[in-house]
Structures are given as structure tokens and as C-alpha cells.
């Protein structure tokens, strides 16, 4: 999948070996509400839109696979994934992410605080440090676990192909397999780097914010901590905004030592979420990027971005 300012393209390899490209012009919320183009606002918009478009790209890919299966199967009937199913997928995915990366680490940290001889109230930095370490650990376990699935390994190879293609475009070279092959599968603006940065920055934001919030000393412990979790969820908005600005700077100023250091954890994680692609996979990524570039040239907009 390649997304640019005004367009989105998705390329898939069909079972017959041909490449099918879905192309469409898209309009961001930021175009209708200019304030959303401002720093610290735009990151949240891009995060939400990327999730929606990402699910749409996966749906397109799945529909192509279903269509081919229907053609080779004796069973009739359309198997296309409906918009309602797509919406349910987004909602369930978001709920699962909140459960896995907010609720579970929070209550696990509470339990650790009960067995350790240190002050680990919600207002302490120690609480949020351990909470953050647990979030990163859960994320790593999750990513490593799914990377063992053969189909996910293939997805990660295509992820690497996207990055090679983007590097080729940014270098101003012809978008060919030969040129793309030599580039790294690790890119500083990758969504994986964004996620790990969100987890790390959340430690600081929560540690700074929670000492100023009411502690609800007389409230039931479980209910009180669910309230704290409900407070954490909207705080993810400024956290995402800050994280996006850091990722953006890291991609633009790659010689900056400080930004390089901040990018290192995300690049390490990309050793899991990207794999060296085959030439056939790079060809698919280049097909999506080439179409995105051609469409952008017709609008006068700027650089496409992958993921």
C-alpha cells in the first residue's frame, strides 16, 4: 500500500502471476479542517486515517483472494468482505489494542506494586516506568509470536519491499527492481517505529500528568483504576501527536545524532516486522508506488509514503 497527500494505491499479486493495482484519490480530514494540519494535530489524523486505509487495503487483498477461490471452487456465491465487516474489524482491533497495551499492563503493574517493597502509586514515576516496560514487552511478545506464522512472514517481506521502494524514490532513482534491491528494509518513518515511540513517550506523559489528577482514596480499587485507564485513553491523542512529529523529524534530518538515537528502538523492532523480500515482492511494491507517483504528478502534490 502506498499513500500520498491525495492518493492511495494498493497492489496485489494475483494467483495467475499478474499484478492488480487499486487506485483512488483520497481527501484527508485535514483538508476540510485546516487546524488538523498543524503540528501535534496532524499526527493523530494520519494515525486514524492510516488505520482505516490499512484495513481497506487488507480487505481489498482478501477480496481478491476470495474471488480467485470462488473461481476455482464448485461453490457459488460472493465472498466479498462488506463495509460493515470492515467497520467491525476496526472497532474490534482498537478494543483489542486497548486491552493488550493499556488494561493488561496497568493491572499487571498494580500487582507488581503489591509484591515489591517500594512506593508504586499511580502518581509515581516508578509506576509508569514499569507500566511502560510491560507495554513494550507485550508488544515484543505479540510481534515475535505472529512473526512465526508463515502468512505473517510473507506480509513482513512485503513490508520490507515497501521500504526498499520508498528509499529508491527518495534517492531520485528509477523505480526498478534492480535499483530497489540494494536498499535497506529499515526506514525511520515506518509505522513500527511510530508505535514503539508512542509506547516510550507514554511513560513520560503519564508520569507528568497523573501526579496532578485526583487519587480517589475512598473509591473501590478496581473501579478507581478503571477510571485511570479511561483517563489514559484520551491522553493517547497528544502522545500520538508528539510521536508523529519526532518520527517526521527523524525521517527529514537523518544526520541529527539525537534523532538517530531516538530512532534506534524502532529500527531494532523493524528487524522483526520487515524481512528481505523477493524480487517479485519488490515488483509489487514498485507497481503501487509508480501508480501513486503518476497520480500525484497529475495533482502537483508531494512525496508518497508507504505503510
Residues 65-115: tens digit of each pLDDT: 766 655 555 555 555 566 677 678 778 888 998 999 999 999 999 999 989
Half-sphere exposure of residue 191, counting CA atoms within 13 Å on the CB side? 20
Instruction: Give me the helices (H) in the chain, please.
Output: 29-32, 42-72, 83-98, 104-115, 125-146, 150-170, 177-181, 191-209, 221-252, 257-273, 279-297
Q: Report pTM.
A: 0.82
Q: Looking at residue 50, what is its pLDDT?
A: 80
pLDDT interval class at 38 (50, 70, 90): confident
Query: Cell numbers at residue 44, please?
Result: 493523530
In percent, the amount of the chain with pLDDT more than 70 equals 91
Which range in 39-43, 85-89, 300-304 is most confidently predicted, on average pLDDT?
39-43
Give CA separation, 59 vs 22, 54, 183, 244, 271, in Å: 12, 9, 29, 26, 26
Q: Looking at residue 40, what is its pLDDT?
A: 82
Say if residues 244 and 43 touch (Cβ distance below 8 Å).
Answer: yes
Say if residues 303 and 251 touch (Cβ distance below 8 Å).
Answer: no
Mean pLDDT for the stretch of residues 17-35: 86
Q: Looking at residue 281, what is its pLDDT?
A: 96
Q: What is the pLDDT of residues 13-25, one digit of tens each?
A: 988 889 999 998 8
Mean pLDDT for the stretch of residues 270-285: 95
Mean pLDDT for the stretch of residues 247-268: 82
Neighbours of 258 (CB within 10 A): 10
Mean pLDDT for the stretch of residues 116-130: 90
Mean pLDDT for the stretch of residues 289-297: 90
Instruction: Check whether 167 has a pLDDT greater than 90.
Output: yes
Instruction: Check whether 304 has a pLDDT greater than 70.
Output: no
Q: Looking at residue 303, what is its pLDDT?
A: 53
Instruction: Check whether 306 has a pLDDT greater than 80.
Output: no
Q: Looking at residue 263, what is its pLDDT?
A: 82
Q: Looking at residue 302, what is its pLDDT?
A: 55
Mean pLDDT for the stretch of residues 33-39: 84
Scored b (16 or more CB within 10 A) or e, 46-62 reads bbebbeebbbbbbbbbe
Instruction: Check whether 260 has a pLDDT greater than 90.
Output: no
Amino acid at each position: 500500500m502506498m499513500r500520498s497527500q491525495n492518493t492511495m494505491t494498493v497492489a496485489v499479486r494475483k494467483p495467475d502471476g499478474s499484478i492488480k493495482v487499486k487506485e483512488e484519490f483520497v481527501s484527508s480530514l485535514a483538508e476540510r479542517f485546516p487546524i488538523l494540519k498543524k503540528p501535534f494535530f496532524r499526527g493523530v489524523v494520519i494515525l486514524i486515517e492510516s488505520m482505516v486505509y490499512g484495513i481497506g487495503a487488507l480487505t481489498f487483498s482478501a477480496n481478491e483472494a476470495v474471488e480467485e477461490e470462488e473461481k476455482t471452487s464448485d461453490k457459488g456465491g460472493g465472498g466479498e468482505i462488506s463495509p460493515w465487516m470492515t467497520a467491525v474489524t476496526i472497532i474490534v482491533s482498537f478494543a483489542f489494542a486497548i486491552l493488550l497495551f493499556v488494561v493488561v499492563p496497568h493491572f499487571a503493574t498494580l500487582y507488581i506494586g503489591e509484591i515489591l517493597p517500594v512506593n508504586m502509586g499511580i502518581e509515581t514515576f516508578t509506576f509508569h516506568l514499569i507500566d511502560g516496560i510491560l507495554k513494550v514487552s507485550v508488544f515484543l511478545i505479540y510481534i515475535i509470536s505472529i512473526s512465526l506464522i508463515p502468512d505473517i512472514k510473507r506480509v513482513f517481506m512485503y513490508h520490507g519491499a515497501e521500504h526498499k521502494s520508498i528509499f529508491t524514490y527518495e534517492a531520485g532513482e528509477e523505480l526498478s527492481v534492480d535499483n530497489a534491491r540494494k536498499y535497506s528494509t529499515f526506514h525511520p518513518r515506518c509505522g513500527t517505529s511510530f508505535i514503539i515511540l508512542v509506547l516510550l513517550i507514554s511513560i513520560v506523559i503519564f508520569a507528568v500528568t497523573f501526579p496532578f489528577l485526583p487519587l480517589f482514596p475512598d473509591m473501590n480499587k478496581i473501579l478507581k483504576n478503571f477510571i485511570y485507564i479511561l483517563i489514559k485513553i484520551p491522553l493517547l491523542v497528544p502522545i500520538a501527536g508528539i510521536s508523529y512529529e519526532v518520527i517526521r523529524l527523524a525521517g527529514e534530518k537523518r544526520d541529527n545524532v539525537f534523532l538517530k538515537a531516538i530512532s534506534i528502538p524502532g529500527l531494532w523492532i523493524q528487524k522483526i516486522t520487515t524481512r528481505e523480500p523477493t524480487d517479485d515482492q519488490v515488483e509489487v511494491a514498485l507497481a503501487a508506488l509508480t501508480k501513486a507517483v503518476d497520480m500525484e504528478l497529475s495533482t502537483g502534490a508531494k512525496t508518497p509514503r508507504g505503510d
